[in-house]
Chain A
Protein backbone atom coordinates (compact mmCIF):
# COMPACT_ATOMS: atom_id res chain seq x y z
CA UNK A 1 0.00 0.00 0.00
CA UNK A 2 2.94 2.28 0.67
CA UNK A 3 3.79 2.73 -2.96
CA UNK A 4 0.26 3.94 -3.72
CA UNK A 5 0.50 6.53 -0.93
CA UNK A 6 3.93 7.62 -2.13
CA UNK A 7 2.67 7.72 -5.70
CA UNK A 8 -0.22 9.93 -4.66
CA UNK A 9 2.09 12.40 -2.89
CA UNK A 10 4.43 12.51 -5.85
CA UNK A 11 1.50 12.92 -8.18
CA UNK A 12 0.42 16.14 -6.48
CA UNK A 13 4.06 17.30 -6.56
CA UNK A 14 4.18 16.71 -10.33
CA UNK A 15 0.90 18.51 -10.87
CA UNK A 16 1.55 21.53 -8.70
CA UNK A 17 5.18 21.96 -9.76
CA UNK A 18 4.05 22.10 -13.38
CA UNK A 19 5.91 19.00 -14.59
CA UNK A 20 6.09 19.60 -18.38
CA UNK A 21 5.60 15.94 -19.37
CA UNK A 22 2.48 15.61 -17.21
CA UNK A 23 0.96 18.86 -18.39
CA UNK A 24 1.83 18.11 -22.03
CA UNK A 25 -0.38 15.01 -21.86
CA UNK A 26 -3.16 17.05 -20.24
CA UNK A 27 -2.84 19.79 -22.87
CA UNK A 28 -2.85 17.31 -25.77
CA UNK A 29 -5.86 15.50 -24.32
CA UNK A 30 -7.84 18.72 -23.99
CA UNK A 31 -6.86 19.83 -27.53
CA UNK A 32 -7.77 16.59 -29.28
CA UNK A 33 -10.94 15.99 -27.27
CA UNK A 34 -12.16 19.55 -27.95
CA UNK A 35 -11.57 19.07 -31.68
CA UNK A 36 -13.33 15.71 -31.58
CA UNK A 37 -16.39 16.88 -29.63
CA UNK A 38 -16.79 19.90 -31.93
CA UNK A 39 -17.07 17.70 -35.03
CA UNK A 40 -19.05 15.03 -33.18
CA UNK A 41 -21.79 17.52 -32.32
CA UNK A 42 -21.58 19.31 -35.67
CA UNK A 43 -22.21 16.06 -37.56
CA UNK A 44 -24.16 14.08 -34.98
CA UNK A 45 -26.82 16.59 -33.89
CA UNK A 46 -28.38 17.15 -37.36
CA UNK A 47 -28.26 13.41 -38.07
CA UNK A 48 -29.92 12.66 -34.73
CA UNK A 49 -32.54 15.29 -35.44
CA UNK A 50 -33.38 13.78 -38.84
CA UNK A 51 -33.51 10.30 -37.32
CA UNK A 52 -35.83 11.40 -34.52
CA UNK A 53 -38.02 13.83 -36.44
CA UNK A 54 -38.51 12.44 -39.96
CA UNK A 55 -40.41 9.30 -40.88
CA UNK A 56 -38.77 7.42 -43.75
CA UNK A 57 -38.20 3.87 -44.95
CA UNK A 58 -35.32 2.16 -43.17
CA UNK A 59 -35.47 4.50 -40.17
CA UNK A 60 -35.90 1.67 -37.67
CA UNK A 61 -32.92 -0.18 -39.16
CA UNK A 62 -30.81 2.97 -38.89
CA UNK A 63 -31.86 3.39 -35.26
CA UNK A 64 -30.85 -0.21 -34.57
CA UNK A 65 -27.45 0.28 -36.24
CA UNK A 66 -26.86 3.46 -34.24
CA UNK A 67 -27.74 1.71 -30.99
CA UNK A 68 -25.39 -1.15 -31.87
CA UNK A 69 -22.57 1.31 -32.55
CA UNK A 70 -22.95 2.65 -29.01
CA UNK A 71 -20.97 -0.34 -27.81
CA UNK A 72 -18.33 -0.20 -30.54
CA UNK A 73 -14.99 -1.14 -28.85
CA UNK A 74 -12.43 1.65 -29.09
CA UNK A 75 -9.70 -0.71 -30.30
CA UNK A 76 -11.88 -1.79 -33.21
CA UNK A 77 -12.43 1.86 -34.14
CA UNK A 78 -8.68 2.38 -33.73
CA UNK A 79 -8.00 -0.54 -36.05
CA UNK A 80 -10.50 0.77 -38.60
CA UNK A 81 -9.11 4.31 -38.58
CA UNK A 82 -5.54 2.97 -38.63
CA UNK A 83 -6.34 1.01 -41.79
CA UNK A 84 -7.89 4.11 -43.34
CA UNK A 85 -5.09 6.57 -42.55
CA UNK A 86 -2.05 4.30 -42.82
CA UNK A 87 0.17 4.70 -45.88
CA UNK A 88 -1.66 1.96 -47.83
CA UNK A 89 -5.12 3.16 -46.78
CA UNK A 90 -7.48 5.36 -48.80
CA UNK A 91 -6.58 8.42 -46.67
CA UNK A 92 -2.86 7.55 -46.55
CA UNK A 93 -1.82 10.54 -48.67
CA UNK A 94 -3.07 13.00 -46.07
CA UNK A 95 -0.45 11.98 -43.51
CA UNK A 96 -2.95 11.59 -40.67
CA UNK A 97 -1.32 8.61 -38.97
CA UNK A 98 0.25 9.50 -35.60
CA UNK A 99 -1.32 12.96 -35.61
CA UNK A 100 -3.98 14.63 -33.48
CA UNK A 101 -6.44 15.01 -36.43
CA UNK A 102 -6.02 11.25 -37.00
CA UNK A 103 -6.98 10.55 -33.37
CA UNK A 104 -9.87 13.02 -33.73
CA UNK A 105 -11.29 11.06 -36.70
CA UNK A 106 -11.49 7.96 -34.54
CA UNK A 107 -12.92 9.84 -31.56
CA UNK A 108 -15.61 11.40 -33.75
CA UNK A 109 -16.55 7.86 -34.84
CA UNK A 110 -16.71 6.91 -31.17
CA UNK A 111 -18.80 9.89 -30.05
CA UNK A 112 -21.15 10.13 -33.04
CA UNK A 113 -23.44 7.19 -32.16
CA UNK A 114 -23.91 8.61 -28.65
CA UNK A 115 -24.92 12.04 -29.95
CA UNK A 116 -27.07 10.65 -32.78
CA UNK A 117 -28.91 8.20 -30.50
CA UNK A 118 -29.48 10.69 -27.67
CA UNK A 119 -30.60 13.53 -29.94
CA UNK A 120 -32.90 11.19 -31.89
CA UNK A 121 -34.46 10.00 -28.61
CA UNK A 122 -34.87 13.54 -27.31
CA UNK A 123 -36.53 14.76 -30.50
CA UNK A 124 -38.72 11.67 -30.80
CA UNK A 125 -39.88 11.91 -27.19
CA UNK A 126 -40.36 15.66 -27.16
CA UNK A 127 -43.87 16.71 -26.20
CA UNK A 128 -46.28 15.88 -28.99
CA UNK A 129 -48.01 19.19 -28.33
CA UNK A 130 -44.84 21.11 -29.15
CA UNK A 131 -45.07 20.75 -32.92
CA UNK A 132 -48.78 21.61 -32.94
CA UNK A 133 -48.13 24.64 -30.76
CA UNK A 134 -45.36 25.90 -33.04
CA UNK A 135 -47.51 25.36 -36.14
CA UNK A 136 -50.57 26.94 -34.66
CA UNK A 137 -48.58 29.98 -33.59
CA UNK A 138 -47.72 30.43 -37.27
CA UNK A 139 -44.26 28.84 -37.60
CA UNK A 140 -43.25 27.48 -41.01
CA UNK A 141 -41.31 24.22 -41.36
CA UNK A 142 -37.86 25.77 -40.96
CA UNK A 143 -39.01 27.70 -37.91
CA UNK A 144 -40.45 24.48 -36.45
CA UNK A 145 -37.07 22.75 -36.93
CA UNK A 146 -35.17 25.60 -35.32
CA UNK A 147 -37.54 25.87 -32.39
CA UNK A 148 -37.52 22.09 -31.84
CA UNK A 149 -33.72 22.14 -31.63
CA UNK A 150 -33.91 25.02 -29.17
CA UNK A 151 -36.62 23.30 -27.12
CA UNK A 152 -34.48 20.17 -26.82
CA UNK A 153 -31.30 22.16 -26.12
CA UNK A 154 -30.67 20.63 -22.70
CA UNK A 155 -30.89 17.15 -24.22
CA UNK A 156 -28.47 18.23 -26.96
CA UNK A 157 -26.00 19.49 -24.37
CA UNK A 158 -26.50 16.30 -22.38
CA UNK A 159 -25.65 14.27 -25.50
CA UNK A 160 -22.52 16.37 -26.05
CA UNK A 161 -21.36 15.99 -22.46
CA UNK A 162 -21.98 12.22 -22.48
CA UNK A 163 -20.03 11.86 -25.73
CA UNK A 164 -17.21 14.00 -24.32
CA UNK A 165 -16.98 11.72 -21.30
CA UNK A 166 -16.48 8.71 -23.57
CA UNK A 167 -14.03 10.52 -25.86
CA UNK A 168 -11.78 11.90 -23.14
CA UNK A 169 -11.42 8.57 -21.39
CA UNK A 170 -10.80 6.29 -24.41
CA UNK A 171 -7.39 4.72 -24.95
CA UNK A 172 -7.68 2.33 -27.91
CA UNK A 173 -7.90 4.98 -30.62
CA UNK A 174 -5.28 7.29 -29.11
CA UNK A 175 -2.83 4.42 -28.72
CA UNK A 176 -3.33 2.85 -32.16
CA UNK A 177 -3.82 5.93 -34.33
CA UNK A 178 -1.80 8.42 -32.27
CA UNK A 179 1.08 6.12 -31.49
CA UNK A 180 1.64 7.60 -27.99
CA UNK A 181 4.44 9.93 -29.16
CA UNK A 182 5.82 12.04 -26.32
CA UNK A 183 5.06 15.80 -26.63
CA UNK A 184 2.98 15.16 -29.77
CA UNK A 185 0.23 12.56 -29.44
CA UNK A 186 0.61 11.30 -25.88
CA UNK A 187 -2.76 11.76 -24.15
CA UNK A 188 -3.63 11.25 -20.50
CA UNK A 189 -4.89 7.71 -21.00
CA UNK A 190 -1.97 6.50 -23.14
CA UNK A 191 0.48 8.15 -20.74
CA UNK A 192 -1.14 6.38 -17.77
CA UNK A 193 -0.83 3.02 -19.56
CA UNK A 194 2.80 3.66 -20.47
CA UNK A 195 3.92 5.04 -17.10
CA UNK A 196 2.21 2.26 -15.19
CA UNK A 197 3.92 -0.28 -17.45
CA UNK A 198 7.26 1.34 -16.61
CA UNK A 199 6.47 1.24 -12.90
CA UNK A 200 6.18 5.05 -12.71
CA UNK A 201 3.05 5.09 -10.63
CA UNK A 202 3.36 8.72 -9.58
CA UNK A 203 2.87 10.15 -13.04
CA UNK A 204 0.13 7.59 -13.71
CA UNK A 205 -1.69 8.64 -10.57
CA UNK A 206 -1.18 12.36 -11.31
CA UNK A 207 -2.73 11.94 -14.74
CA UNK A 208 -5.44 9.73 -13.29
CA UNK A 209 -6.34 12.53 -10.86
CA UNK A 210 -6.68 14.98 -13.76
CA UNK A 211 -8.84 12.48 -15.65
CA UNK A 212 -11.01 12.00 -12.56
CA UNK A 213 -11.43 15.77 -12.21
CA UNK A 214 -12.52 15.96 -15.86
CA UNK A 215 -14.87 12.99 -15.33
CA UNK A 216 -16.31 14.70 -12.24
CA UNK A 217 -16.88 17.89 -14.26
CA UNK A 218 -18.59 15.88 -16.99
CA UNK A 219 -20.84 14.03 -14.54
CA UNK A 220 -21.65 17.21 -12.65
CA UNK A 221 -22.72 18.82 -15.95
CA UNK A 222 -24.77 15.74 -16.87
CA UNK A 223 -26.63 15.87 -13.54
CA UNK A 224 -27.30 19.61 -13.92
CA UNK A 225 -28.48 19.28 -17.52
CA UNK A 226 -30.68 16.29 -16.71
CA UNK A 227 -32.45 18.38 -14.08
CA UNK A 228 -32.94 21.25 -16.54
CA UNK A 229 -34.09 18.92 -19.32
CA UNK A 230 -36.67 17.37 -17.02
CA UNK A 231 -38.29 20.71 -16.14
Chain B
Protein backbone atom coordinates (compact mmCIF):
# COMPACT_ATOMS: atom_id res chain seq x y z
CA UNK B 1 0.00 0.00 0.00
CA UNK B 2 1.28 3.47 -0.91
CA UNK B 3 2.25 5.63 2.07
CA UNK B 4 3.70 8.65 0.28
CA UNK B 5 3.37 9.54 -3.35
CA UNK B 6 5.49 12.46 -4.54
CA UNK B 7 4.89 13.92 -8.00
CA UNK B 8 6.79 16.64 -9.88
CA UNK B 9 8.43 18.00 -6.73
CA UNK B 10 10.70 21.03 -7.04
CA UNK B 11 12.23 22.74 -4.02
CA UNK B 12 14.53 25.75 -4.26
CA UNK B 13 16.41 27.74 -1.64
CA UNK B 14 17.26 31.30 -2.70
CA UNK B 15 16.45 30.46 -6.32
CA UNK B 16 18.82 27.46 -6.32
CA UNK B 17 17.08 24.11 -6.90
CA UNK B 18 17.96 21.65 -4.11
CA UNK B 19 15.51 18.86 -4.84
CA UNK B 20 13.76 17.73 -8.01
CA UNK B 21 11.69 14.56 -7.91
CA UNK B 22 9.55 13.53 -10.87
CA UNK B 23 7.96 10.61 -9.06
CA UNK B 24 8.61 8.68 -5.86
CA UNK B 25 6.43 6.20 -4.05
CA UNK B 26 7.15 4.95 -0.54
CA UNK B 27 5.26 1.97 0.81
CA UNK B 28 3.58 1.58 4.19
CA UNK B 29 4.68 -0.88 6.87
CA UNK B 30 8.29 -1.05 5.76
CA UNK B 31 11.66 0.55 6.45
CA UNK B 32 12.95 2.73 3.62
CA UNK B 33 16.57 3.80 3.71
CA UNK B 34 17.66 7.00 1.99
CA UNK B 35 21.31 7.64 1.33
CA UNK B 36 23.44 9.96 -0.74
CA UNK B 37 26.33 12.42 -0.45
CA UNK B 38 26.24 15.62 1.62
CA UNK B 39 24.05 18.35 0.18
CA UNK B 40 22.14 15.96 -2.05
CA UNK B 41 18.76 17.02 -0.65
CA UNK B 42 18.11 14.16 1.82
CA UNK B 43 17.25 16.40 4.78
CA UNK B 44 15.06 18.63 2.59
CA UNK B 45 13.15 15.53 1.51
CA UNK B 46 12.76 14.46 5.15
CA UNK B 47 11.42 17.89 6.13
CA UNK B 48 8.86 17.67 3.34
CA UNK B 49 7.85 14.14 4.36
CA UNK B 50 7.46 15.43 7.96
CA UNK B 51 5.20 18.26 6.67
CA UNK B 52 7.57 20.87 8.05
CA UNK B 53 8.04 22.53 4.69
CA UNK B 54 5.96 22.49 1.54
CA UNK B 55 7.47 21.97 -1.92
CA UNK B 56 7.44 24.99 -4.18
CA UNK B 57 6.05 22.86 -6.97
CA UNK B 58 4.43 19.45 -7.08
CA UNK B 59 2.22 17.43 -4.77
CA UNK B 60 2.69 15.03 -1.90
CA UNK B 61 -0.03 12.46 -1.31
CA UNK B 62 -0.12 10.76 2.08
CA UNK B 63 -2.21 7.60 2.42
CA UNK B 64 -3.78 8.54 -0.92
CA UNK B 65 -4.79 12.08 0.10
CA UNK B 66 -3.29 15.39 -1.06
CA UNK B 67 -1.53 17.17 1.82
CA UNK B 68 -0.93 20.63 3.21
CA UNK B 69 1.68 21.53 5.83
CA UNK B 70 -0.85 23.55 7.80
CA UNK B 71 -2.62 20.39 8.94
CA UNK B 72 -1.60 19.52 12.50
CA UNK B 73 -3.40 16.18 12.16
CA UNK B 74 -0.82 15.06 9.58
CA UNK B 75 2.06 15.96 11.88
CA UNK B 76 0.43 13.87 14.58
CA UNK B 77 0.76 10.80 12.34
CA UNK B 78 4.30 11.51 11.18
CA UNK B 79 7.18 12.40 13.45
CA UNK B 80 10.79 13.29 12.66
CA UNK B 81 13.93 12.61 14.65
CA UNK B 82 16.56 15.06 13.48
CA UNK B 83 20.32 14.56 13.41
CA UNK B 84 20.84 16.80 16.42
CA UNK B 85 17.54 16.57 18.23
CA UNK B 86 16.40 19.40 20.47
CA UNK B 87 15.34 18.41 23.95
CA UNK B 88 12.85 20.61 25.76
CA UNK B 89 14.28 22.27 28.88
CA UNK B 90 12.44 19.84 31.10
CA UNK B 91 12.94 16.43 32.67
CA UNK B 92 13.30 13.31 30.54
CA UNK B 93 9.80 12.19 31.61
CA UNK B 94 8.28 15.53 30.55
CA UNK B 95 10.16 15.39 27.23
CA UNK B 96 8.76 11.95 26.47
CA UNK B 97 5.25 12.87 27.56
CA UNK B 98 5.08 16.16 25.62
CA UNK B 99 3.78 14.50 22.45
CA UNK B 100 1.04 12.76 24.43
CA UNK B 101 0.17 16.00 26.22
CA UNK B 102 -0.34 18.01 23.00
CA UNK B 103 -2.59 15.25 21.67
CA UNK B 104 -4.74 15.56 24.78
CA UNK B 105 -3.84 12.02 25.81
CA UNK B 106 -3.49 11.17 29.43
CA UNK B 107 0.00 9.87 29.98
CA UNK B 108 0.63 7.05 32.37
CA UNK B 109 4.04 6.63 33.87
CA UNK B 110 4.26 3.28 32.06
CA UNK B 111 4.33 4.85 28.58
CA UNK B 112 7.41 6.97 29.25
CA UNK B 113 9.15 4.13 31.07
CA UNK B 114 8.41 1.64 28.27
CA UNK B 115 9.62 4.08 25.60
CA UNK B 116 12.87 4.59 27.51
CA UNK B 117 13.44 0.88 27.97
CA UNK B 118 12.80 0.42 24.25
CA UNK B 119 15.82 2.59 23.42
CA UNK B 120 17.94 0.87 26.03
CA UNK B 121 17.84 3.45 28.83
CA UNK B 122 16.87 2.50 32.37
CA UNK B 123 13.60 4.21 33.31
CA UNK B 124 14.51 4.16 36.98
CA UNK B 125 17.76 5.99 36.31
CA UNK B 126 16.71 8.41 33.56
CA UNK B 127 13.05 9.42 33.95
CA UNK B 128 13.71 12.09 36.56
CA UNK B 129 16.90 13.44 34.97
CA UNK B 130 16.97 16.97 33.56
CA UNK B 131 17.82 17.72 29.93
CA UNK B 132 21.25 19.10 30.82
CA UNK B 133 22.24 15.95 32.67
CA UNK B 134 22.35 13.84 29.49
CA UNK B 135 25.24 13.01 27.18
CA UNK B 136 24.85 13.47 23.40
CA UNK B 137 24.06 9.79 22.85
CA UNK B 138 21.58 9.69 25.75
CA UNK B 139 19.85 12.82 24.45
CA UNK B 140 19.52 11.19 21.02
CA UNK B 141 17.93 8.11 22.57
CA UNK B 142 15.58 10.15 24.78
CA UNK B 143 14.48 12.06 21.67
CA UNK B 144 13.79 8.74 19.93
CA UNK B 145 11.84 7.53 22.99
CA UNK B 146 9.72 10.70 22.82
CA UNK B 147 8.84 9.84 19.20
CA UNK B 148 8.10 6.19 19.97
CA UNK B 149 5.84 7.17 22.89
CA UNK B 150 3.35 8.85 20.55
CA UNK B 151 3.13 5.63 18.51
CA UNK B 152 3.33 7.38 15.10
CA UNK B 153 2.20 5.86 11.81
CA UNK B 154 5.46 7.07 10.28
CA UNK B 155 8.81 7.60 11.99
CA UNK B 156 11.36 9.62 10.04
CA UNK B 157 14.95 9.47 11.27
CA UNK B 158 17.61 11.80 9.85
CA UNK B 159 21.10 10.40 10.51
CA UNK B 160 20.05 8.79 13.79
CA UNK B 161 23.39 7.09 14.40
CA UNK B 162 25.87 9.74 13.22
CA UNK B 163 27.06 10.63 16.73
CA UNK B 164 26.53 7.30 18.44
CA UNK B 165 28.89 4.51 19.44
CA UNK B 166 28.52 0.96 18.13
CA UNK B 167 26.36 -0.23 21.01
CA UNK B 168 23.94 2.70 20.75
CA UNK B 169 23.77 2.26 16.96
CA UNK B 170 22.72 -1.34 17.49
CA UNK B 171 20.06 -0.23 19.98
CA UNK B 172 18.64 2.24 17.47
CA UNK B 173 18.55 -0.53 14.87
CA UNK B 174 16.67 -2.84 17.26
CA UNK B 175 14.25 -0.07 18.24
CA UNK B 176 13.56 0.62 14.55
CA UNK B 177 12.92 -3.06 13.80
CA UNK B 178 10.67 -3.42 16.86
CA UNK B 179 8.67 -0.34 15.86
CA UNK B 180 8.10 -1.84 12.43
CA UNK B 181 7.31 -5.38 13.55
CA UNK B 182 5.42 -4.76 16.79
CA UNK B 183 3.80 -1.35 16.27
CA UNK B 184 3.39 -1.54 12.47
CA UNK B 185 5.19 1.79 12.17
CA UNK B 186 6.54 2.75 8.74
CA UNK B 187 10.10 4.04 8.97
CA UNK B 188 12.10 6.24 6.64
CA UNK B 189 15.74 6.54 7.64
CA UNK B 190 18.47 8.77 6.22
CA UNK B 191 22.02 7.67 6.92
CA UNK B 192 25.55 8.03 5.62
CA UNK B 193 26.30 4.55 6.87
CA UNK B 194 25.20 2.57 3.84
CA UNK B 195 26.05 -0.80 5.37
CA UNK B 196 24.01 -0.12 8.51
CA UNK B 197 21.18 1.33 6.45
CA UNK B 198 21.02 -1.72 4.19
CA UNK B 199 20.99 -4.02 7.22
CA UNK B 200 17.88 -2.35 8.60
CA UNK B 201 15.95 -1.33 5.45
CA UNK B 202 13.49 -3.20 3.26
CA UNK B 203 14.22 -0.84 0.36
CA UNK B 204 16.69 1.95 -0.36
CA UNK B 205 16.65 5.20 -2.32
CA UNK B 206 19.83 6.88 -3.58
CA UNK B 207 19.71 10.66 -3.95
CA UNK B 208 22.43 12.59 -5.73
CA UNK B 209 22.47 16.28 -6.68
CA UNK B 210 18.86 16.68 -5.60
CA UNK B 211 17.60 13.89 -7.85
CA UNK B 212 16.57 10.30 -7.25
CA UNK B 213 19.29 8.22 -8.86
CA UNK B 214 18.03 4.76 -8.02
CA UNK B 215 15.57 2.84 -5.87
CA UNK B 216 16.17 -0.68 -4.73
CA UNK B 217 13.95 -3.24 -3.01
CA UNK B 218 15.07 -5.91 -0.54
Q: Which residues of A contact B (CB under 8 A)?
A: 127, 129-130, 132-133, 135-140, 143, 147, 150-151, 153-154, 231
Contacts and interface: CB of A to CB of B under 8 A. Distances in A.
B89 interface: yes
A136 B102 contact: no
Given A132-B80, A231-B132, A139 B86 contact: no
| Dominant secondary structure of chain B at its interface with chain A | mixed
A147 B132 CA distance: 18
Given A132-B82, A138-B72, 5 more contacts: A135-B52, A136-B78, A138-B76, A138-B102, A151-B88
Given A147-B88, A151-B89, A136 B80 contact: yes
Nearest to B133: A231
B59 to A, nearest CB: 21
Contact of A136 (B75, B84, B89, B132): B75
B132 A135 contact: no
Given A143-B102, A147-B88, A151-B89, A137 B150 contact: yes
B187 interface: no
Interface of B: 47, 50, 52, 72, 75-76, 78-80, 82, 84-86, 88-89, 98-99, 102-103, 131-132, 143, 146-147, 150
Nearest to B73: A138
Nearest to B47: A132
B76 A129 contact: no
Contact of B99 (A138, A150, A231): A138
Contacts of A154: 89
Contacts of A138: 72, 75-76, 79, 99, 102-103, 150
Contact of B102 (A132, A139, A153): A139
Contacts of B88: 130, 133, 147, 151
A70 B134 CA distance: 38
Nearest to A147: B88
A136 B103 CA distance: 12
Contacts of B52: 132, 135-136
Contact of A137 (B47, B84, B146): B146
A136 B98 CA distance: 11
Nearest to A137: B99
